[in-house]
Amino acid sequence: MTTTPEAEEAVAELVWEIFGTPPSIYSDVETRTCTVSEYLEQKPAWVEERSRLIAGLERIRRYGLDLGRGELSLRRVRRQDWAESWKRHFEPIEIGRALLVKPSWSRRRVKAGQVVVVLDPGLSFGTGQHATTRFCLRELARLRKANAALLDVGTGSGILAIAAAKLGYSPVIALDYDREAVAIARANARRNRVEDLIRFRHEDVTRPARGRRMRYAVVCANLIGNVLLEARERLLDCIEPGGVIIVAGILRGEFEGIRTAYEAVGVRLVAQRSEKEWCSGSFKRSRRKADE
């Protein structure tokens, strides 16, 4: 799908929502165009999926984003060609002096005191290039405290859970509804030698939980807006008194609605950041005793 730099992340989020895995994004600086690509193991029901994509693009356009040509295309490619193409577009990410996320082939030097997360892009990989992921990483670095319990909801590649474990959070629990994502995240944790510090679980946060749930100092929910609303009560029930929930994956036009919904049930906004068409925030629970 061809679009503009202004709309690339919104389009990528749409593609992810429809097909269930994160796409790759290639930006051409000279032509100021972006190509959002999704690799599918099997040929999709193109007529139906194309209709869903068109409807989603119209929704993005209504938020005021320039989609450019917005051209859609489907073609056959070799799996090996797709997997290797990631290397050209993945850059290291630095979060101040606290954290460096880089691929194994990067020669970026580590600064004194930085912890390093090594992740190579693959077919179901969250690269951390997304504005909302960067916000989550910054907040994890800002809020870090030794032995603070953390819950990562929608772990994807495991980037946030791995970073949290390296920053000293403990215990770290990471959830995802996609079994393949859980397997990939576990493998990435093993590569970063933190597999014993993270408990990965296949779980859908929108479904009612069984039994009493543990509460956490920090809950990280990098999800799409409608899921953040649908799972609001369950997510907030996971926060300990004085704890923080980091919410991301929200379009600018959706953020105020989510802020209102979350503040209505007892948390307050303590940090917010907008980048391009995305808005993310951190909400803090009061220190009064949580409801049993």
Which pair of tokens denotes residue 62? 């209504």
User: Are residue 180 and residue 279 in the same domain, yes or no?
Assistant: yes
- Of 128, 126, 96, nearest to 110 by C-alpha is 96
Stretch 97-114: mean pLDDT = 87
Look-up: residue for tokens 């000279």? 30
- Of 131, 95, 130, 128, nearest to 114 by C-alpha is 95
What confidence category does residue 281 fall into, taking pLDDT thresholds of 50, 70 and 90?
very high
Q: What is the pLDDT of residue 115?
A: 93
Q: Does residue 251 sit within a domain? A: yes
Last residue of a domain, one of 51, 66, 85: 85
Say how far apart CA 21 and CA 197 lie, in whole Å: 25
User: Are residue 67 and residue 167 in the same domain, yes or no?
Assistant: no
Instruction: Identify whether 103 is preceded by a cis peptide bond (ω within 30 of 0).
Output: no
Q: What is the pLDDT of residue 211?
A: 56
Provide, rounded to the nearest whole percent, the portion of the chain with pLDDT above 70: 87
User: Are residue 155 and residue 54 in the same domain, yes or no?
Assistant: no
- pLDDT per residue as tens digits for the range 264-280: 998 999 999 998 778 99
Widest Cα–Cα separation across the chain:
58
250 in Cβ contact with 132 (< 8 Å): yes
Cβ atoms < 10 Å from Cβ of 146: 8
Say how far apart CA 155 and CA 173 lie, in whole Å: 9
Q: What is the pLDDT of residue 81?
A: 60
Q: What is the pLDDT of residue 99?
A: 93
Q: What is the pLDDT of residue 31?
A: 64
CA 111 to chain centre: 25
3-class SS of residue 279? strand
173 in Cβ contact with 122 (< 8 Å): no
Q: What is the pLDDT of residue 129?
A: 61
Stretch 260-266: mean pLDDT = 94
102 strand-pairing partners? 118
Stretch 108-112: mean pLDDT = 87
Least reliable range by pLDDT among 17-31, 78-92, 164-178: 78-92
Domain encompassing residue 272: 130-135+142-285
What confidence category does residue 209 fall into, taking pLDDT thresholds of 50, 70 and 90?
low
249 in Cβ contact with 225 (< 8 Å): yes
Domain total for the chain? 2
User: Are residue 262 and residue 153 in the same domain, yes or no?
Assistant: yes
Given a cut of 60, whether residue 29 has pLDDT beyond it is no
CA-CA-CA-CA torsion sign (203, 209, 212, 218) = positive
How would you class 113 by CB atoms within 10 Å of its CB: exposed for 0-12, middle for 13-18, buried for 19 or more?
exposed
Identify the residue with better confidence: 262 or 108. 262
Q: Does residue 99 sit within a domain? A: no
Q: Does residue 113 sit within a domain? A: no
The CATH number assigned to the domain holding 232 equals 3.40.50.150
Q: Does residue 95 sit within a domain? A: no
Given a cut of 50, whether residue 93 has pLDDT beyond it is yes
65 in Cβ contact with 6 (< 8 Å): yes
Q: What is the pLDDT of residue 199?
A: 96
Stretch 44-61: mean pLDDT = 90
CA 47 to chain centre: 28
What confidence category does residue 207 fall into, taking pLDDT thresholds of 50, 70 and 90?
confident
DSSP character at residue 41: S
- pLDDT per residue as tens digits for the range 123-156: 434 555 677 888 999 999 999 988 899 999 999 8
3-class SS of residue 210? coil
User: Are residue 164 and residue 261 in the same domain, yes or no?
Assistant: yes
Stretch 243-253: mean pLDDT = 91
Say how far apart CA 38 and CA 22 lie, in whole Å: 7
Say how far apart CA 129 and CA 51 lie, in whole Å: 28
Q: What is the pLDDT of residue 112?
A: 87
Angle between helices 159-166 and 179-191 (to 10 degrees): 30
User: Are residue 149 and residue 238 in the same domain, yes or no?
Assistant: yes
